[in-house]
Amino acid sequence: MVDTAPADDVDSLNRDLNQELLRHRELTREGGGREAVEKQHAKGKLTARERIERLLDPGSFQEVAPYVEERRPKGPHIPGDAAVVGLGRIDGRKVAVAAQDFTVIGGSFSEAQAQKVCEVMDLATGSGVPFIALNDSVGARIQEGVRSLAGYSELFWRNTQASGVIPQISLMLGPCAGGSVYSPGLTDFVIMTEGISHMFITGPEVIREVTGEDVDLETLGGARNHAAVSGVAHFVAADEEDAFATTRKLLSYLPSNNTERPPRIGTQDDPDRADATLDVLVPPDGSEPYDMREAITSIFDRESFFEVHAAFAPNAIVGFVRLNGAPTGVVANQPDHLAGVLDIDASDKIARFVRFCDAFNIPLVTFVDCPGFMPGMEQEHGGIIRHGAKILYAYAEATVPKVCVVTRKAYGGAYIAMSSKYVRTDMVYAWPTAEIAVMGAEGAVNILYRKRLAQSDHPEEAREQLISDFHEQFGSPYAAAASGHVDDVILPSETRAKLVAVFDFLQDKQASPLPKKHGNIPL
């Protein structure tokens, strides 16, 4: 016969167990305690849990591993350690999130934190959902020695394995120093918060001691400098709320993983809409600048242009747009800055964006107005050959639908690199203002006919005639169309309708790259 406890005793035991669970749960939500939370708020920063609540859909967060404790030998062992991780939704779509808790030992990265973050990353990668990291940490936990460094290694390995499988987004909401900058550096997009977040390998004190240079923290690793100078930051947010809004907007253009198409939305924008102002956008004088953003905002769905890396290498433009409701990647030269020339930074910016779009099934449109690669000793010694080759590699490797529109200059190596026909671009259009040649007519005539012009009785008249002849024979869009390098010459105002039609045709494009482990991009 089995003894059974009285019902009242069972109920009492259950109540006690439930109360114990609630006490444990409350401990995990205290973080570093009220005083530490107040200090965090005094700095204008939210706590880890507050950030998750603001980022995710209300009530959607499901925490993972809340009871994992930090492991300092002498304690105290704080439940949850310096991270809050779990699963949730943004605009109804599933995401995984990891938020560092600065109120617990400065958010320092520990073995326990690594265990938690890596677990949720594994869940994200295995389930095919985007991973979002909310970073706010002083760096590695010195008290743990090599165990903290091993934790970083585990995280970096997962960042690498997830690359090209799920979108990875890093929000910088506080300091990020030393080895900890490499996890954000391995992710697809970095969003920095102005005045609050900083990223650097070595701090001002170390720089001062080693080099004698006196630099402040903002100049060394602030959001504006990383957005405009180093290119580490893709977006600069005014505050944390702006960072969350930027994240939500970015995700709206992206698929959840590399097996999905990007999410299409309904649009009231007429697919055949024609903007007559495009027909007079490009100045007749090839040396006169214009803003390529005007073409982008006119051609694609209204108010859909979401620029990436806007402050970095402004002679190139990259970003997301929608075309008849479908997310599309746009790449363009910017004649309004350095005549749209390709330099080292522009090459890196374009190549990285093209490869991201290709990894996540986002079609590409390229607008070309480029006189070539930037000349000069600084560019040559800085490796413009190697960096320029990245664009060639990225476009040649990309198998998503690719369409190119030549608006004006497409000279030499820049013509080839910027999604030309024979790096397997599916369709190349040219506007009537297009000039496609090895170089501009003026430069070509100066080289080819130098002796003839020197012997001419009327060198200026002869030169003008030679320029006109050269342009007609080699530089006009009709010459390129006659040889098949351009598929059609179109009115600028027809561009939207042409793009809508061709991408509708190409949406089921199949590509079969050669079997290999991976290529060797010229890094």
Q: Say which residues have a Cβ less than 8 Å from residue 406's Cβ, sequence separation at least 6.
A: 368, 369, 428, 429, 430, 431, 434, 436, 477, 486
Cβ-contact 299, 278 below 8 angstroms: yes
* List 164, 178, 382, 412, catalytic entry: 178
* List 413, 443, 479, 497, catalytic entry: 413
Both tokens of residue 466? 């030679």
* Cα dihedral sign, 100-105-108-111: negative
* List 96, 243, 351, 414, catalytic entry: 414
- Residue 425 phi/psi, 5-degree rounding, is -75, 135
Q: Check if 413 is active-site.
A: yes
| Nearest one of 351, 350, 348, 357 to 400, comparing CA atoms | 357
CA angle 46, 47, 49 (to 5 degrees): 120
Q: Other C-beta atoms within 10 Å of 424: how many? A: 14
* List 164, 179, 203, 382, catalytic entry: 179
Local structure of 215: helix, strand or coil = coil
- Residue length, the chain? 523
Rg (the chain; Cα; Å): 28
Local structure of 69: helix, strand or coil = strand
Rounded to a whole number, what is the distance in angstroms from the first to the last CA of the chain? 75
Q: Check if 128 is active-site.
A: no
Distance CA 376, CA 387 (A): 15
Cβ-contact 159, 124 below 8 angstroms: no
Both tokens of residue 357? 């779009």
- Omega prior to 335 cis, within 30 of 0: no
- Residue 133 phi/psi, 5-degree rounding, is -110, 125
Both tokens of residue 456? 């001419």
Q: Check if 414 is active-site.
A: yes
Cβ-contact 56, 90 below 8 angstroms: yes
Distance CA 340, CA 367 (A): 11
Q: Which residues are catalytic?
A: 178-179, 413-414
